[in-house]
């Protein structure tokens, strides 16, 4: 609720939810619904209800999606039909994730435009930073000027359940609801029911009931070194090249070195805790390393679970 000079007030609300369905030929379907609206002191207002369907493809370090959404919007004078198609992708870059989304939209038959929006999200310890920017190009009316926007937000977690937030930037006009573009700045508090560890936030939820994997498991062994690193050994692999990646490598592939006829080794920094790891042999698909239990995340991807003590 916002109160302006002159005893003018405005109320805005937004509720949305989505769910992922079971994997379908390597893709993960998502269904989404949303409802939002505004109400002003003079009795005017706007509203929108819409739904969306998407197909996601998730990888360890990158992925993408395609989808469509549509619904009905009220701009205070008339109901308008909305329809949009979208495609996008994301990639993990060190401690952050970079995403790009392309959308083509139609509002009734008189408004048509395309948008491109990119965002970068990074976490370092208790700090979360999100920066974003977008551009809108008009097809109808064809003489409308292009629009751009951008902004950033910061959250500083002072407790697992409490963060201080700050945000600022610009947002585009919502022509379906008849709302203008503008700029904003805000300070706030974020309350969470519980915050996962950074490794689990980045790499999707794990099944913590999996039994620990000890050194000497069939096909894989690791040895803790005094400098905080570990020597990982994979045996029984008749291959020309072997690569390994996991959350402890920033999901960047590292090449293992042949140390025997069918044995491969690598020395990597790896802290104590629960880790996810994948293996690739001779440039093929990424698989669960032999000798490790696997966990399938909510997006249908599988990875080996390595518990380091």
Domain(s) of CATH 2.40.160.10: residues in the chain: 2-195
Strand residues in 21-146 grouped as ranges (E): 28-40, 45-58, 62-74, 79-93, 96-107, 111-124, 127-140
pLDDT of residue 61: 77
Tens of pLDDT, residue by residue over 183-192, are: 999 999 999 8
**CATH H-level, domain 2-195: superfamily:** Porin (2.40.160.10)
pLDDT of residue 301: 63
Domain(s) of CATH 2.60.40.10: residues in the chain: 200-308
Tens of pLDDT, residue by residue over 183-237, are: 999 999 999 876 544 443 443 433 333 333 333 334 667 787 777 788 888 877 7
pLDDT of residue 297: 53
pLDDT of residue 235: 77
Q: What is the DSSP string of 180-241?
A: PPEEEEEEEEEE-S----HHHHHH----TTSPPPPTT-TTEEEEE-TTSEEEEEEES---S-
pLDDT of residue 307: 76
CATH number for region 200-308: 2.60.40.10
DSSP helix/strand/coil, 249 = helix
Strand order in the sheet with 127-140: 2-4, 8-20, 28-40, 45-58, 62-74, 79-93, 96-107, 111-124, 127-140, 147-159, 162-171, 182-191
pLDDT of residue 87: 97
CA atoms within 13 A on the CB side of 178: 15
pLDDT of residue 231: 85
Intervals of the chain under pLDDT 50: 196-218, 298-299
> What pTM was computed for the model?
0.61
């Amino acid at each position: 609720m916002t109160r302006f000079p002159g005893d003018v007030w405005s109320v805005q609300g937004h509720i949305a939810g989505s769910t992922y369905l079971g994997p379908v030929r390597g893709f993960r379907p998502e269904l989404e619904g949303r409802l939002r609206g505004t109400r002003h002191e003079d009795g005017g207002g706007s509203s929108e209800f819409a739904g969306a369907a998407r197909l996601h493809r998730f990888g360890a370090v990158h992925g993408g999606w395609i989808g469509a959404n549509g619904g009905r919007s009220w701009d205070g004078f008339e109901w308008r039909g909305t329809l949009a198609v979208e495609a996008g992708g994301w990639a993990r870059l060190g401690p952050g994730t970079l995403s790009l989304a392309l959308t083509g939209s139609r509002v009734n038959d008189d408004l048509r435009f395309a948008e491109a929006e990119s965002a970068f999200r990074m976490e370092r310890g208790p700090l979360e930073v999100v920066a974003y920017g977008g551009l809108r190009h008009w097809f109808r009316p064809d003489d409308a000027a292009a629009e751009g926007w951008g902004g950033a937000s910061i959250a500083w977690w002072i407790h697992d359940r409490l963060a201080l937030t700050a945000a600022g930037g610009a947002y585009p006009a919502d022509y379906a609801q008849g709302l203008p573009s503008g700029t904003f700045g805000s300070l706030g508090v974020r309350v969470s029911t519980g915050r996962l560890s950074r490794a689990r936030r980045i790499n999707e939820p794990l099944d913590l009931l999996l039994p620990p994997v000890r050194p000497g498991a069939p096909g894989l062994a690791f040895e803790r070194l005094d400098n905080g690193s570990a020597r990982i050994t994979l045996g029984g692999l008749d291959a020309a090249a072997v690569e390994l990646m996991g959350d402890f490598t920033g999901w960047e592939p590292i090449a293992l070195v042949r140390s025997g006829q069918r044995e491969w080794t690598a020395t990597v920094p790896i802290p104590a805790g629960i880790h996810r790891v994948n293996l690739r042999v001779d440039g093929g698909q990424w698989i669960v390393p032999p000798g490790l239990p696997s966990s399938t995340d909510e997006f249908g991807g599988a990875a080996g679970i390595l518990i380091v003590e």
